[in-house]
Structure 1
């Protein structure tokens, strides 16, 4: 038996329901007034799913024609939020294609990139990662800069390189440089001596999952990511150091430690 809804007085996008219009073949239609003043008739399913949110005037205003990220439509019984498909993690609902009726979900790749992905491509394994990560994987050993090492995941190298580009910082180190520095420091923070880790590498070895604590620091912040100017530190330490010269950073760390001891004495 078809369930009947009373939508009179409710608002869906720019539409306010005035009255029930007709009911043909189990499809209820409602007479609605758009905020622009026009009157239009809309089926129940299109209103409740917010598939139709105006008389058509929204199409001329693309900046507002967006469904809030993270809110799946009411007509959709599938909800993939939180699920992982390869490198992708679904973080919200994007939209439903008007022609194909396919759902598109906002996905975040391991490298941090986000984009809407067709649910069919997710379920069939057609899309498992962002274009950059897919390109890196396809190159493999042909480009050492884009290949992970024993301790450093390729996704981290990708993220570091992209971040340097966006900030206009020189980046000439390779994954081999990062691996060599890691081994030289025995996987410990250059300033605190704490063990560092990457969850991806730990999981691959079957070890207990750890927090993402490793971060690459430039000893001289005036110089880019070049051989001889990098060291591994705890990510919290890197946040504290920011662009300070190493000598200034250490000087203030000593002052903070002395101040803390004096305050607790």
Structure 2
């Protein structure tokens, strides 16, 4: 026995206003809705409307996801405040909390401002850990950005393709980040192609005479096995 249909016409769920009933298909009752935020028409299941899973149209969902994933741009005032705090010796975590940024974003921006000469470099003074100007793989160390003892420091690196990234010193010295992501993927693709070509060259193709000889050997073994049961 089918359950009676609950009329949702005129009701509002989140930003969705139910206009009319469209029918029952694909495992549930469907309703035509209108988004109160953007005015777009939207079709939604009765179950998702009533349990609170559907509160806005797909257009608004995609728009909010795009805004959340898009990196927030640095304003001139934020950069000035960043350089001021950094030059006074403030810790990176404190700067990130004051400016409402992630620690990684502060690292990258400090690296850029250090290169531009607005932020004081906090280089490592130990001779054995001084990486400035050295090249590891495809990366060249061009500036020290974050204080630390040797490998724990953050370094601004430039890849052969021209991309600049702030990378921890221990990752570079241990050989884990010797290229940017784009160059690394490109090198992996080249190695994969070479490996496939080598496999093709190593694969042995039998001639027709070798195939016939192999078949005769198989037939002889089968005949011996049958004779053993007689």
Asked whether the two chains share a fold, i.e. TM above 0.5, the reply is no
TM-score range, shorter chain: 0.3 to 0.5
TM-score, scaled to structure 1: 0.29
